[in-house]
Amino acid sequence: MEHLSPRHRWTALLALAFGGVAVGLTEFVAMGLLPDIARGLLPDDYAASSTDAVAKAGWMITAYALGVVVGAPLIAALTARVPRKKLVLGLLVLFVAGTIGSAVAPTFGLVLVARFVAALPHGAYFGAAGLLAATLMGPGNEARGFAAVLSGLTAANVVGVPLITKLGQATDWRVAYLVIAGVFLLTLLAVALTVPEVKAAEGGSPRNELEALRRPQVWLVAATAAIGFAGFFAVDSYIAPITTDVTGLSSGTVPWVLVAVGLGMTVGNALGGWFADRDLRRAMLIGFPAVIAATIFFGLAASTTIGLFTGAFLIGATSLFLGPTMQARLITVAPKAQLMGAALNQSAMNIANSLGAALGGLVIARGFGYLAPAWVGVALAIIGLALAATSFALDPKPHPHPDSTPDKPLPALQ
């Protein structure tokens, strides 16, 4: 293994985390700018009914999520033999191109296509970058390695998303996406300059990666994430109209609510990575009840300013507590296909994104109000808890089968 100085190691981790910032921006900025996007892309619909137009604009979020779902397993399978740094750089090039396309596409339909294309590298990026970070941090720190990359996503929600949202509100939502493309380009340069080469997993192949899809536990854990996290996205997708129409605050307050979400995500992600490396089962079985309680609180209290900000923080914290935990769990149940396991977590998260945004838009369009998605989220989190408990109950006992533990360490630095 190549010896890295502590400074070099942390610089490389920061570069990978900066990619998480860029991904967080491209994924979450739409949520704060939905009214602006609806007004700009769907002017006739917006004039007839702003609520219906915002719900329709939510399909932008759904299109992105579906792109992640398709791209993550496909890219993971096709790039099993590609060295990790080279893979990350290629994915960042695709991010740059797709995000620019999102900014310049002239019609709503073409924007949906561009968002789908821009999302294709999302899951594979978090998978490959997370495995790189885990290798840099050393054995026994796998969950914290993924948490390091996810920390960029949480930082995006604390600082980047509110700032880019303000920029989009003050100028144009298209300007916001052009700036995000610039952040991806800076990440590309940072990774190229600082991240060391890491071999692909020994014996990695498309066949081995796809073999993971034959494991029932992989599908069960993926379903746990997809359903259990959907409530977060059902609420977060409509945080802008909740702030203005339910709580009665100005649109200028929306970025500050997003800061509250992002701060919660940052705290939850750090605690989740630490906890998952110590007791993965307990982390999951504590995390879901916490999500349920936070979502109930939001549904009851978000009509007040204090309730809105507190609930936003708690939903972000409890949901992201489960982020590195679900990532580690998927790799555990797919030991010979680490990249697929890591990428599938992002597919599952974005099925959750798609499902949450779609169900949230559905109950809003049916006239139940902007807080109705919170109660949908409670039901989804309860299902997630039941699936998590079922998954652990099906684990081999008292000793796991040899195939259930990784038979090869993470790839070494070259």
Long-range contacts of 139-143, Cβ-Cβ distance < 8 Å, separation of 24 or more? 139/409, 139/410, 140/277, 141/277, 142/277, 142/328, 142/331, 142/410, 143/272, 143/273, 143/274, 143/276, 143/277, 143/280, 143/324, 143/325, 143/327, 143/328
**Quick one: tokens of 175?**
């300007």
The pLDDT of residue 406 is 45
pLDDT for residue 77 is more than 70: yes
Give the helix ranges, DSSP H, for 195-253.
206-211, 216-228, 230-236, 239-241
Q: DSSP letters along 87-98, please?
A: HHHHHHHHHHHH
Q: Flag whether pLDDT at 51 surpasses 60.
A: yes
Give pLDDT tens digits for 129-159. Answer: 888 887 887 766 666 777 788 788 778 877 8
Could you tell me which residue, 215 or 118, shows the higher pLDDT? 118
Quote the crossing angle between the two packed helices 142-155 and 305-333, to the nearest 10°.
150
- Taking only the tens place, the pLDDT of each residue in 283-316 is 888 999 999 999 999 999 999 999 999 999 999 9
Whether the pTM exceeds 0.85: the reply is no
The enclosing H or E element of 296 equals helix 280-301
* pLDDT reading at 42 higher than 80: yes
**pLDDT (mean) for 393-401:** 66
Nearest in space to 341 (alpha carbons), one of 204, 161, 180, 168: 204
Task: Compute the radius of gyration of the chain from its Cα atoms.
Answer: 20
pLDDT of 124 strictly over 90: no
Highest mean pLDDT among 58-67, 90-99, 248-257: 90-99
Length of the chain: 414
| pLDDT(397) > 50 | yes
The packing angle between helices 50-57 and 59-78, to 10°, is: 0
**Rounded distance between C-alpha atoms, residue 3 and residue 280, angstroms:** 30
**What's the pLDDT score for residue 412?**
47
* Per-residue model confidence as pLDDT tens digits over 198-225: 776 665 556 666 776 777 888 888 899 8
Residue 102 · residue 147 · CB < 8 Å: no
